[in-house]
Structure 1
Amino acid sequence: TRLKYRYLDLRRPSVQKAIILRSKILRATHEYFDQHGFINIETPELGKSSPEGARDYLVPSRIYPGSFYALPQSPQLFKQLLMGAGFDKYYQLARCFRDEDLRGDRQPEFTQIDMETSFLDEKGVQDYTEGLLKKIMKDVMGIDLKTPIARMSWNDSMNKYGTDKPDTRYGMLIHDLSPIFKDSDFRVFSGVIADGGYVKGIAVKNGAKAYSRKKLDKKQDYIKRYHAKGLAWVKYEDGDFSGPVARFLTDEDKEALKKEFNLEGGELIVFVADKWKVCCDSLNHLRREFAKETDIIPKHVFDFVWVVDWPLFEYDEGRGRWVAAHHPFTMPDDEGIKLLDTDPHKAHARSYDIVMNGDEMGGGSIRIHKRSIQEKMFKALGFTKKRAYEQFGYLMDALDMGFPPHAGLAIGLDRFAMMLAEKDNIRDVQAFPKNANASEPMMHAPAPVSKGQLSELGVEVDSKYSDSVKKTEDHLEDEAQKDADKNSTWDKN
C-alpha cells in the first residue's frame, strides 16, 4: 500500500529525511571528486550483454531484429577503456541494473559511486576513498571519521568473523578449537578434525541463562541450510561446565576452553564441527543472531574496515564451477600471475572491499592492463578462445594499443545511504523503489505491452506464458477500472 500510494508516503517527514540524506551524500561526492581533479564522465546504459555476474536486463532492438542491448550491471569496462584513452581520473554516479532475487539491501536498479584512476596502487585508491568517506561522514552526519581505516586480510576476516563482511562493532570472535580437540576421545570432534575439518566456536556472554535447550535446538535447525550437521554447546556457570557436551570434556579440555575464551562465568559456548566453509557460514550467522538478541551491538556507531588480500577465484556451488571472486578483470598478485599457468584457483587478487557495520559498502581492485594476463584469466575461468573474443574482443584489442596500470572502486550509494539513515531496507532511501517481487505497484510495472509494439521489435511471447500474460492484463484492466471509478470527475467533465 505504501508503494502503491508512494506520492503520499513521500510526504511523511521520516521518509523525506532519508531521501534528503541520500541527496547530501550525492552533493558531498560531487564536491570531493571535483576538488581532487576527477572528471565526471557518463557511460552508456545501452550496451552488450555480459552475463558473467547477475542476470542482465535485456532491451530488444527495433532496428536490428533479434538482437538485444543489455542495461549495465556496472560501467566496469567502459571506465577501464577511459583509462586507456588517457582520462586518468574518472568518476560517475552510475545507474546500474541487475536482474537478481531481491533482499532488503538490493534493488533491481541502483546507483554506484564509481571511480577509476591510472598509475595508483591499492593504497592510492584507498586514500582517495577514505578522503571521500571522511567528507561524507562530516558533511552528512557531523562525524569526524578517523583515518587511516584499519586493514584486515580476507583470511583473518573469514576465520575470526566467518564472513568477508565483518561487523567489527563488537567482539564475540570465532575461535579455532581444533588444537584442543584433535586428540579428544569425543569422536564427534576429533573424527571431523582427522578428516580435514575443523572445530570452531564462539562464547556468548551472559548466554547461559538466556538460552534454553529449546532455543538452541531452533538455532541448530536453522544452520542446517549451511549444511551443518549439528550444533554442540556447553554452559559455564559457577566454575563448572554443563550441557550435552560437558560430560565428554576432560579436565584439560575444560582448562583450555577457560583460557581460550577467558571465561568469567555465565557464558554459553557453541561449537560447529565440520568443513571450514560450513563452520564459517554457520558461526557467522550465529554470531550476528546472538549479538542482536543479547543487545551488545552499539547504537549509532559506524565502523569501517578494509578487507584485503582476497582469493582471485571462488567456487560457485550453484553453477558447479570456479568464478571470479570480484570480476574477470582483477589483477592477480605477483605470485598469482605465476599460478595462472599452473594452479590458478590458489591465486590471490590485488583487490579490496570497504565494509561498514558488517555490510559491504563497496569494492575495487587493481585491474589487468596486459593482454597476455587477461587471456590467462579468461582461460582459467573456462572461456574458450572463441568465446573470449566474441564477448570481450574489443577489450583485448584495446589492451594491445597500450594501457596504463589502473585501479578503481565502486561504492553502493543506496546501501550506504540506508546504513547511515539506520534503515532496514534499501527501499527507504529510494524515491520510487520496486517491491520484494521486483514490481512497482503505483505504475503497475512491469506490464504486458501491445502486440503491435512486440511486432515492431520482432518479439513474441512464448505460448506457455500466455495465460500468465492474460491474467496480468485482466488484473491491470480491473485495477484501472477501479481507479477510474473512484473519485473520478471524468463523466462530469
Structure 2
Amino acid sequence: MRTTYCGLVSEALMGQTVTLMGWAHRRRDHGGVIFIDLRDREGLVQVVCDPDRPEMFAAAEDVRNEFCLKIVGKVRARPAGTENTNLTSGKVEVLCHELEVLNPSVTPPFMLDDEHLSETTRLTHRVLDLRRPAMQKNLMLRYKVAMEVRKYLDEQGFIDVETPMLTKSTPEGARDYLVPSRVHDGQFFALPQSPQLFKQLLMVAGFDRYYQITKCFRDEDLRADRQPEFTQIDIETSFLGEEEIRAITEGMVRQVFRRALGVELPVYQQLTYAEAMHRYGSDKPDLRVKLQFTELTDVMKTVDFKVFSGPATTPGGRVAALRVPGGAEMSRGEIDAYTEFVKIYGAKGLAWIKVNDMGKGRDGLQSPVVKNLHDAALEQTLARTGARNGDLIFFGADKAKVVNDALGALRVKIGHSEFGRTHGLFDDVWAPLWVVDFPMFEHDEEADRWVAVHHPFTAPKDGHEDLMDADPGACVAKAYDMVLNGWELGGGSVRIHRAEVQKKVFDALKITPEDAQVKFGFLLDALQYGAPPHGGLAFGLDRLVTLMTKAESIRDVIAFPKTQRAQCLLTGAPGLVDEKQLRELHIRLRNPAAA
C-alpha cells in the first residue's frame, strides 16, 4: 500500500520509511550508485539505489524509462549542494530498501521531457503525453477549477440538474451532430449545442437557480479555441436582472482564480458592444494591448484620395487609424509584412504615415499617401490620434466590418509582438472585461435576412420591442459577454419570458408560426404557464482553464481532444461501421466507396 505520493515527499517525512508507486521518469547510473527519478501525478522524487542491497540493486539495473515501480525506502536529506528548489521533494531523497517492477515498459516513442513534440505525435500517443508533468498539472488544475465552480454555485443556492444528451435538432445556430434513431425510421436525435432550451424550461418549472457542467457539441470548423465537443459551465437563474446575473458570475470567476491560482483579478471594466467595436474593432478586445482606434470617417469625406473618401461617403463604410507609438522605426519590410497580414481579414491594403518631425508640417511626414490628403485632413489626423515624433499611423478604409476585423487583428499582432512588448504597448496582466448591450440582430447579406447575434431567445432592452418590427438593426439586447485577455470566457443574456415577445423575435428572423411550433413548440407552450423573468450565462470550461494555464490551445487542457479535422488520433474516431449497423439504422451510404 502506498503511504504517500512521490511529489509530496518532503522534509516533513525526514527519517521515515515510505512506500511509493509510480513511473521511472529517468534512470542514471553514477559509478555504482543508481538514481531513479520516480514520478506520479503529484511530481517527482529522487530515489537512490546503492549496491549494499544486491537483490534490490540488480532489479534497479534493469529499470528503464516508464517502468511502473513500487519503492520502499527511507527519506533522508540530499547532500549539500544537490538540492532542487523547483521540487517539493527537492531537499530530500529516498534511500531505496526494496524495488519491485510492477510492470515493465517498451521503449516510449518519445522522451516525456521533450518540449518540441509535434501535436500529431502527442495526440497519437495521448496516454503517454498525459503522463508528462505539464499535462498532469493542466488536468489537475482543470479538476480544481471545476470543483471551485461547484462549491461557489452550491453556496449561492444553485442546484445541479442534468439535461438530455439526445435531443431535437434546432438548425438556427451551428451545425448539429445528428444521431440516427433505430426505432424511428428516418428520424434523428441531435447532440446538444447547449442546454439552452432545457434550462429555460427548468426556470419555468420553478427550480429558480440551476447549473450544470456539461458536454456540448457543434459540428463546425475548428480553431485553437474550438472543439467539436466541449465542456460548458451552464448557469440560469430566475427573478434577477442583467447586473445581478453579472455580479454572481463575476464573483464565481473571481473565487475560482483566487482559490485555484492564488490570483486576485482586478476590477472588471465595462464596455458596450458599440464602444468595443469603435475603439478596438472587436467584441472581445484584449485590453492588455495599449492601442486604440481613432475615428476618421468624417475627416476623410472630402479628400481626393478615393481609397479613403469612397468608404467615408458610403453607408456602412469606415475610415479609422491606429497610432503605434515609436513605430516610425519599423522597416519598410516590417510594414509590408503587416500589409500582407491584414489581407487575411479582407483588407485590400494598409496605408501608413511615419511621423518624423511634426515641426516641419507636411514635410515631416513620410508616406505614399500624404500627397493625397489636404492640410485639414492631415491636421485632424495628427490631432485626433495624438501623434508624436517617432510614431507610425496605420489606416483602415473599407466596409466597417473589414476595417474592424483587419485593424483589430493588426492591433493585437503589434501589441503581442516583440516590438509591442519592448515599447510598452503590452501589459502582461489579467485584464477582465464585460461587453454589454449587444445588438439583437445582424444582417446576413448572403441569405438577405436578419439572424440572432446570440440566440433567438434573448430579450430586447426595455423599450426596444417595437424596433423589432420597424428597424431590427437598431434593436439592442439584454446580452453580455465576459472577456478575459482577448478571449470570450462566457456569454449570456436575459431571456424572453413572454410568448408574445418571443413571437416578435421569430417574426424578425422570418421564422413562421408553423416552423416555430415545429422547432420550439414545447418552449412556447411552457412560456404560457406563468414563466418567470430569467436569464443566465454559459462559460467555456476549456477556455477558462486554457487561459489559467497559459496553454497554447484548449487541446492542452482536455484529456482526449480531437484534431482540427475533428479526429481522435488515439482511437481512430470517427471510424467505419459495418453493414449490419447501417441496416439497423435504416441508413444507406451515398458514397459506398468510402466505406
TM-score of the pair, normalised by structure 2: 0.76
Task: Give the structure 2 partner of residue 12 of structure 1.
Answer: 132
Counterparts of 2:446 and 2:177, CA distance in 1: 21
Task: Give the structure 2 partner of residue 468 of structure 1.
Answer: 594
Counterparts of 2:283 and 2:582, CA distance in 1: 44
| 8 Å Cα contact 2:328-2:390 kept in structure 1 | yes
Counterparts of 2:446 and 2:123, CA distance in 1: 33
Distance verdict in 2 for CA 1:436–1:318, change over 3 Å: farther
Task: Give the structure 1 partner of residue 172 of structure 2.
Answer: 52
Distance verdict in 2 for CA 1:175–1:127, change over 3 Å: same
What pairs up with 1:216-231 in 2 under 5 angstroms? Answer: 216-231=335-350
Instruction: Give, in angstroms, the shift of residue 298 of structure 1.
Output: 4.4
**2:554 corresponds to which of 418, 426, 429:** 426
What amino acid is the match of 1:94? T
Distance verdict in 2 for CA 1:403–1:50, change over 3 Å: same
Task: Give the structure 2 partner of residue 112 of structure 1.
Answer: 232
Instruction: Give, in angstroms, the shift of residue 371 of structure 1.
Output: 0.6
Instruction: Give, in angstroms, the shift of residue 349 of structure 1.
Output: 0.4
Task: Give the structure 2 partner of residue 73 of structure 1.
Answer: 193
What pairs up with 1:98-247 in 2 under 5 angstroms? Answer: 98-147=218-267, 149-196=268-315, 197-212=317-332, 214-239=333-358, 240-247=364-371
Kindly provide the CA deviation profile for residues 438-458 of structure 1, in whole angstroms up to 9, marking residues without a partner as x.
000111000011111111111
Task: Give the structure 1 partner of residue 155 of structure 2.
Answer: 35
Q: Structure 1 stretch 290-299 or stretch 453-462: which is displaced more?
A: 290-299
Counterparts of 2:376 and 2:450, CA distance in 1: 42
Are 1:361 and 2:480 an aligned pair? no
| 8 Å Cα contact 2:238-2:533 kept in structure 1 | yes
**1:265 corresponds to which of 380, 389, 393:** 389
Counterparts of 1:195 and 1:446, CA distance in 2: 48
Instruction: Give, in angstroms, the shift of residue 188 of structure 1.
Output: 3.2
Are 1:283 and 2:283 an aligned pair? no
What amino acid is the match of 1:32? Y
- SS of the counterpart of 1:283? helix
- SS of the counterpart of 1:175? strand
Instruction: Give, in angstroms, the shift of residue 459 of structure 1.
Output: 1.3
Task: Give the structure 2 partner of residue 303 of structure 1.
Answer: 431
- SS of the counterpart of 1:265? coil
Identity %: 47
Kindly provide the CA deviation profile for residues 432-489 of structure 1, in whole angstroms up to 9, marking residues without a partner as x.
0001110001110000111111111111111xx22222xxxxxxxxxxxxxxxxxxxx
- The structure where strand makes up a greater share of residues is 2
Which has the higher Rg, Structure 1 or Structure 2?
A: 2
What amino acid is the match of 2:216? C
Instruction: Give, in angstroms, the shift of residue 203 of structure 1.
Output: 1.0
Kindly provide the CA deviation profile for residues 167-212 of structure 1, in whole angstroms up to 9, marking residues without a partner as x.
1112210110123333334343234322343221101122222241
| 8 Å Cα contact 2:266-2:432 kept in structure 1 | no
Instruction: Give, in angstroms, the shift of residue 34 of structure 1.
Output: 0.7
- SS of the counterpart of 1:220? helix
Distance verdict in 2 for CA 1:342–1:317, change over 3 Å: closer
Q: Structure 1 stretch 300-309 or stretch 108-117: which is displaced more?
A: 300-309
What amino acid is the match of 1:69? F
- SS of the counterpart of 2:197? helix
Structure 1 segments unaligned to the other structure (5+ residues)? 470-493
**2:209 corresponds to which of 84, 89, 98:** 89
What amino acid is the match of 2:275? D
Distance verdict in 2 for CA 1:275–1:298, change over 3 Å: closer
Counterparts of 1:278 and 1:83, CA distance in 2: 40
What amino acid is the match of 2:279? K
Task: Give the structure 1 partner of residue 61 of structure 2.
Answer: none
- The structure where helix makes up a greater share of residues is 1
Task: Give the structure 2 partner of residue 21 of structure 1.
Answer: 141
| 8 Å Cα contact 2:166-2:191 kept in structure 1 | yes
Q: Structure 1 stretch 179-188 or stretch 404-413: which is displaced more?
A: 179-188
What amino acid is the match of 1:76? Q
Distance verdict in 2 for CA 1:219–1:23, change over 3 Å: same
Instruction: Give, in angstroms, the shift of residue 262 of structure 1.
Output: 2.1
Q: Structure 1 stretch 284-293 or stretch 369-378: which is displaced more?
A: 284-293
What amino acid is the match of 2:221? D
- SS of the counterpart of 1:453? helix
- SS of the counterpart of 1:114? strand
- SS of the counterpart of 1:441? coil
Q: Structure 1 stretch 369-378 or stretch 179-188: which is displaced more?
A: 179-188
Counterparts of 1:298 and 1:28, CA distance in 2: 30
Distance verdict in 2 for CA 1:175–1:317, change over 3 Å: same
Distance verdict in 2 for CA 1:340–1:249, change over 3 Å: closer
What amino acid is the match of 2:558? Q
Kindly provide the CA deviation profile for residues 366-387 of structure 1, in whole angstroms up to 9, marking residues without a partner as x.
1000011111111111111111
What amino acid is the match of 2:325? K
Q: Structure 1 stretch 28-37 or stretch 171-180: which is displaced more?
A: 171-180
What pairs up with 1:405-444 in 2 under 5 angstroms? Answer: 405-444=533-572
Task: Give the structure 2 partner of residue 483 of structure 1.
Answer: none
Task: Give the structure 2 partner of residue 292 of structure 1.
Answer: 416
Counterparts of 2:123 and 2:410, CA distance in 1: 33
Instruction: Give, in angstroms, the shift of residue 400 of structure 1.
Output: 1.1
- SS of the counterpart of 2:336? helix
Equivalences, count = 465
What amino acid is the match of 2:508? A
Counterparts of 1:307 and 1:381, CA distance in 2: 24
Instruction: Give, in angstroms, the shift of residue 15 of structure 1.
Output: 1.2
| 8 Å Cα contact 1:49-1:69 kept in structure 2 | yes
| 8 Å Cα contact 1:335-1:347 kept in structure 2 | no
Distance verdict in 2 for CA 1:257–1:340, change over 3 Å: closer
- SS of the counterpart of 2:463? helix
Kindly provide the CA deviation profile for residues 8-46 of structure 1, in whole angstroms up to 9, marking residues without a partner as x.
000111111111111111011000001111111111101
What pairs up with 1:341-420 in 2 under 5 angstroms? Answer: 341-420=469-548
Distance verdict in 2 for CA 1:187–1:55, change over 3 Å: closer
Counterparts of 1:299 and 1:286, CA distance in 2: 17
